[in-house]
Structures are given as C-alpha cells and as structure tokens.
Structure 1
Amino acid sequence: MSTDNGEYVLRIRRGSSAALMMALVAFAAGCGGSGSDAAPTKPPAGDSAAKETGAGGAAVDESGSDTVFRTEERFKQALPDPTSMAGWTPRGASAEIEEAPEAAANCGPDADWYCARIARGEADYEAVGEEAQFDLTAFADKGAAQDACRKQKAWSAKYTKAQTPPIPGVDSYAYYRNAGGLDGLNLYMCTGTVVAQVLLEGEGSTLDPDTAHALGQLFAARIHKAAAAS
C-alpha cells in the first residue's frame, strides 16, 4: 500500500486474523510512490522486463523449482516493486499466509482451483486508464500447483482467448473476461510451486496483449529469482 509520506509497504496477514505485520523494508518515495508528481504513463513494452530478465530478455527457466513461497521475504522478492514498475503508480501490496491450509484431497471443482493454497500475495499498480494487478498463489509442492493450474485453465476455457505471446520459462495462457463492469485481460503463469496472474483491467481500456506480455516477463523473472534466493 502507499502511505501518506509516499512509502510503499508490503503488509502481511496470517490466516483470517485481522492483525497485520509490516514487512522488513518500506520502499522509498522516490521509487514511484503516490507522492510522485510525475504523470503515470505505461512503460514501453519489454523495458522493465528486460531489466529483470537480463540480456536477451529471456527469463531463466526455474519451472522445476521446489521452493515453497510461505515467508514475507519470499513474497516481497517475487512481487513487482515500484522500481521495477517505472511509469506506474503503486496502489497497494499485501500477502496472506494460511495458518491451516486445506488438503488438496478435500478440494472440489475447477472453480475452486486455489483451494489448497498455503499463501497468496498481490501488488496493484495504476496507469492512465488502466490498472495492473499481480497475484501470486503458492502451494505446498509442485504437484498441488500443477493440479491448481490444470483446474484454472479448464475453468477459464469458456472465455475468449487473448493473443498474448508465451512467457519464457513458464506455462502461460491468457484470456479476456468482464467482471464488475470492467474489462479485463488475465494472463496466468504456472511455474514450480506457484500460480501467478497478471490482470490488466479498465473500463474501455485497450488491454494491450503486449503490455500484459511485458509485465508477465517481469513477474516471471522476479518469481524465478525469488525461488533461487537462499
């Protein structure tokens, strides 16, 4: 979330408890917080992603990672920060750690693909006429994550497919969906023990697949880097 002095803070919530804990470090106001006077404009497609992925723009393939995302620091590393989202205004960041996750065997239909999650985090940003939301849903192991990905993909098959290029190093797919009167482009990525989503949303927004692709590359690279961190 953005504070009055422009700091950007990731807040952590455990289970259904209302108690919130601040993450280790707040992001500085000069990194694109709400205190900035600069007009929010979307970055050229691929610019931020190239910084995260390195030479050639291709993310390192960490799809086989067994890393479990269940700590504040892991989510802080994986979710895009204001520095990586130059040109976008940060609107909030949070993560929730499940104290008593549901066993995968107890989960039901495809619509409840996230049932067995052990943690979830999100970071929200805004540019002129469009919002970008990054969601990270974590599972106890790769098997549970792959099952969730399969269920979500099957559930979303009824929606119009978006022509978004594949994201290197992950299993990715995208579709359009209208919800709450807002048009949305949903890009999902499955890798290791997590399912990640980039949602572009806006009333009358163009929802550019190239923008979704660039943000997906950025997100995938940060997830892989967080998974590789000791």
Structure 2
Amino acid sequence: MTLAALASGCGGAGSDTATTKPPTGNSAGAGSGSGSGSSEVSKADFDTVFKTEERFKQALPDPAAMAGWTPQNAGARIEEEPKPAAECGPGSDWECARIARGDANFEAVGEEAHFDLTAFADTKAAQDACRKEKGWSAEYTKAQVPPVPGVESHAYYRNVGGLNGLNLIMCLGTVIAEVTLEGEGSTLDPATAHSLAQVFVPRIQKAAATS
C-alpha cells in the first residue's frame, strides 16, 4: 500500500513545528550507544496496535515535518497472514512476528534519511523483537547518539551494499522505530540522527493516541 499523502506533502499527526535539516559535522566516531530515559518511560508506553495504513501515515514523517529534505517515497505493508509470536523461536529473525511495516525516505545534499516502523501484535512481541535486534546488532560499532527521553534505544554503524550507514533503533510500545542515515554525501552525524528521532517519536506517540 502506498502512502500517497506523505509523498504529496499532506500533514499528519506529527509536531506542528517543522524541522530544518541541521548542519552535519564529521562526528561519527565510535562510542557508547544511546540508552533509556528511565524517568519518562511511561510517555513511550502504549498498547495501540499499528495495523492500518492510516496509522502509519500519521506516524511516519511527512514533507511538512522535514523542511530542508526532499521526499523520495513512503509506504506501508500490512501482513495478510502474520506469523504468531509463539512460532518465532529464539533464533528467528527479529522481524519474524511483525504484523505490518512502514517507511518514509528523504534526501538532502546526497544524504539519505530513512524512517522505518515495524509493528507487532502486542507489547510483549515488540519487546521480544527488541531484544533479538539488540543481540543481532551487538557485533557492530556503537554510535554516540543521545537517547530520546522515555525511549529505549541504541545506535550503531553498519556497511551495507558499499554504503556506510548509521542506524538508530528505538523500542516503544508495540513498535520498533528505525532512523537510518546513509548516502555518499552523509557524514553520519549522530546529532542529525538524534534530531530526526525527535521528529519521529512524537509522531508515533500521537498516532498511538489517536482513536
């Protein structure tokens, strides 16, 4: 399913204040991953199940929220027959029990920003997936991305298909949210990843609160 409204610039459930692409510096050195803002964990805790195109449309950043970035594409895929979490053992892929997935992609001066949202049937399945993903990504070099308050997160650098990337993984409620920076013009600046996460997380929370 294609989220045409995202590509055309229609607003969603995100922040009223648009974000301008921050200046990027060559600060992509290795360091400690981002952690949990334990004092505000309840803000990111929700039981809402993301299983409709409209819910993803509200949660994924749109052009209005991404000033300075050019929208590339956006979409959502709802699984017709999702695999039950009980059938996803310890050694399975972390996305095994997903019920839906959405993404929105943007570009600015050769740098690409990818937003991905993977949904699960309940918080337990999402937490299990978070643990698996964290274990899977532990082999990569950690990145110094400040945590978003109330959100369990970690970040790392990874090379895929000849492109270096910075991946920020955030676990909240029934979903796993990912912000990825890559591209030949990207400096993989942790500050940029953190800025984009601060756009993404409030949109997810607002989408979860929508009846």
TM-score range, shorter chain: 0.7 to 0.9
Q: Report the counterpart of residue 44 of structure 1 in structure 2.
A: 22
Give the match's secondary structure for 1:157.
helix
Q: Report the counterpart of residue 38 of structure 1 in structure 2.
A: none
8 Å Cα contact 2:10-2:63 kept in structure 1: no
Cα 1:204–1:91, aligned 2, differ >3 Å: closer, same or farther?
Answer: closer
Q: Distance in 2 between matches of 1:28 and 1:219?
A: 18
Give the Å deviation of 1:161: 0.2
Cα 1:112–1:28, aligned 2, differ >3 Å: closer, same or farther?
Answer: closer
Give the Å deviation of 1:29: 5.9
Give the Å deviation of 1:152: 0.1
1:200 aligns with 2:157: no
Counting only pairs closer than 5 Å after superposition, residues 58-77 of structure 1 correspond to structure 2 as 61-77=42-58
Q: Determine which of 55, 76, 84 is the counterpart of 2:65.
A: 84
Amino acid in structure 1 at the alignment position of 2:188: L
Q: Determine which of 112, 132, 142 is the counterpart of 1:151.
A: 132
| Higher Rg of the two aligned structures | 1
Q: Report the counterpart of residue 151 of structure 2 in structure 1.
A: 170
1:130 aligns with 2:108: no
Q: Distance in 2 between matches of 1:117 and 1:30?
A: 27
Give the match's secondary structure for 2:71.
strand
Counting only pairs closer than 5 Å after superposition, residues 188-227 of structure 1 correspond to structure 2 as 188-203=169-184, 205-227=186-208
Cα 1:189–1:25, aligned 2, differ >3 Å: closer, same or farther?
Answer: same
Q: Report the counterpart of residue 82 of structure 2 in structure 1.
A: 101
Give the match's secondary structure for 2:124.
helix
The alignment yields a C-alpha RMSD, in angstroms, of: 2.2
8 Å Cα contact 1:126-1:132 kept in structure 2: yes
Q: Report the counterpart of residue 121 of structure 2 in structure 1.
A: 140
| TM-score, length-scaled by structure 1 | 0.76
- In the TM superposition, what whole-angstrom CA distance separates every residue of 1:115-156 from its partner, at most 9, and x where no partner exists? 000000000000112100000000000000000000000100
Unaligned 5+ segments in structure 1 are 1-11, 13-21, 32-41, 46-58
Give the Å deviation of 1:64: 1.9
Q: Distance in 1 between matches of 2:185 and 2:5?
A: 36
Q: Report the counterpart of residue 35 of structure 2 in structure 1.
A: none
Q: Distance in 1 between matches of 2:60 and 2:121?
A: 19
Which consecutive segments of 4 or more residues in structure 1 shift more than 3 A? 22-31, 59-62, 108-111
Give the match's secondary structure for 1:154.
helix
Cα 1:83–1:64, aligned 2, differ >3 Å: closer, same or farther?
Answer: same
| TM-score, length-scaled by structure 2 | 0.82
